[in-house]
Amino acid sequence: MPSATRVLIALQPSMYAEVLAFSVGRERPRAEVSIWDPSEGLEEAALRLLPHLVVANRVPKAAGEDWPFFWVEVDELRANEGAKKRLGARISADGYSESVGEVRIEHVLLALDRAEEELISKGPGHVRGADRVLDRGEGAW
Partner 1 sequence: MVVSVVRVHLADDHALFREGLASLLAASEGVEVVGTSPMGEQAAERVALTKPDVIVT
Contact 107, 41 (CB under 8 A): no
Angle at 72 between CA 71 and CA 74, to 5 degrees: 145
CB 19 → partner 1: shortest distance, Å? Answer: 3
CB 103 → partner 1: shortest distance, Å? Answer: 5
Give the integer Cα–Cα distance in Å for 35 and 129. 25
CB 34 → partner 1: shortest distance, Å? Answer: 16
List % helix, strand, coil for the chain (3-state, nearest 5). Answer: 35, 20, 45
Candidate ranges 16-24, 28-36, 91-99, 127-135; the one touching partner 1 (CB under 8 A): 16-24
- Would you give the binding string for partner 1 spanning residues 44-83, x where CB under 8 A is met? ------------------------------x--------x
